[in-house]
Amino acid sequence: MSVLGLSVFGVIMVFSSSAVSAASSGKSPFLGSLSQAVFCIVGLIVGFILSFVPIRFYRRFGIVALGGAMALQLLTFTGLGVSQYGNTGWIRVGGSFTIQPAEFIKFALCIWLPSALIVAKRRYDRARTVKEQVKAYGVVGGVYGLSLLLVLGGKDLGTAMILLFIGIVAFLISGFPGKWMAMLVVAMSVLVVALIASSPNRRQRILAAYTECSAADAQQICYQSMHARYAIASGGFLGLGLGNSREKWNYLPAAHNDFIFAIIGEETGFLGCAMVILIFVILGWCLLFSALQLKDRYSSMVLMCILVWLVGQAMVNIGVVVGIFPVFGVPMPFISAGGSSMIMCLAISGVAMRFMRQQPQIKADISKL
């Protein structure tokens, strides 16, 4: 119900936040919401089908899914690649239709990484030398690192950070050696700092988030984050009402996508924002409770990875909009406009439902039906 409620609310907010910009560009004001509704229906169908797929299928063919997702990501470096907001993370299919392969990588990693880490841990426990211990985690570390580098190659730091969070949690709960984990976190932190230092645009975004903006930056680097806060401040407690946003009149860039939470704050106020956050908390609690109750380690780890993806990404998105984090291109799951994100979020929700049915209480309730 949480997933369905967020998805329906997302279609409504996509219409509200995109109607003006679509009309000003000569398109139908219903175009964005109709597309989002179609993606929502497709995602629900895919998720429903995946909710009945045997768990052994996911465990066996997770590597195939990841290989296919990485192959799609490679296409972004060819002539099919499309750049948006400075990132080359999309591929064009047909006329104006694009897909974002990084969303498929998130899905595949949540399924494959737990299984691979469980096998690696068994090999590590049987190893007698340091060389054998390193070799035990060599393949899984290499494949995971390659998937991360492919996303970073398209300059999509926001998506790469979500993949990083998924990986850290998966490695941590799999029993990965503590010393190695510390070294891995340090190495990844150094990589993130290096990526930020190597890009003047990223450095300026970081500085803009945590320092006072100059008059020049207010019209450039700080423009999007400032208008997001204007929108939330204008909403007050109850909001201006659905459809009454001022910032969506081509003032706030990506109002229907990465910054849709600002429009939610402006039109539904603090109350609407709190309800969205509460639903994500409920979603996270359901996943966490089921993961802790499951006896199957693989199923438990998959649910934890899904939790990090859906709830973690939502919190990062909200943090960006309210100014806690620098501006990253991270959409809000189920709500932001975008076909790849919507379909994959609903698909992984179907997978989560399948794994949650193993939880003793849920299994007992279903057996009574």
What gap in Å lies between CA 160 and CA 168, rounded to an integer? 12
Q: What confidence tier does 310 reach under pLDDT thresholds 50, 70, 90? A: very high
Residue with tokens 């680097």: 221
User: What percentage of the chain exceeds 90 in pLDDT?
Assistant: 58
What gap in Å lies between CA 162 and CA 289, rounded to an integer? 22
pLDDT at 220: 67
Averaged pLDDT for residues 326-339: 89
Give me the DSSP letters along 114-162. HHHHHHHHHHHHH--SHHHHHHHTHHHHHHHHHHHHHHHHTT-HHHHHH
pLDDT at 368: 63
pLDDT at 105 over 90: yes
pLDDT in tens, 58-91: 999 999 999 999 999 998 888 788 777 667 788 8
The helix-helix angle for 339-356 and 31-50 (nearest 10°) equals: 30
Print the domain residue range for 332.
2-368
Averaged pLDDT for residues 253-257: 88
Averaged pLDDT for residues 162-189: 89
pLDDT in tens, 225-250: 888 899 999 999 999 999 899 998 98
**Total count of domains within the chain:** 1
pLDDT at 226: 86
Residue with tokens 């943090």: 319
Lowest mean pLDDT, pick from 108-112, 139-143, 185-189, 278-282: 185-189
- Mean residue pLDDT of the chain comes to 88
Q: What confidence tier does 358 reach under pLDDT thresholds 50, 70, 90? A: confident
Cβ–Cβ contacts within 10 Å for residue 322, how many?
16
pLDDT at 218: 59
Angle made by CA atoms 99, 103, 107, in degrees to the nearest 5: 135
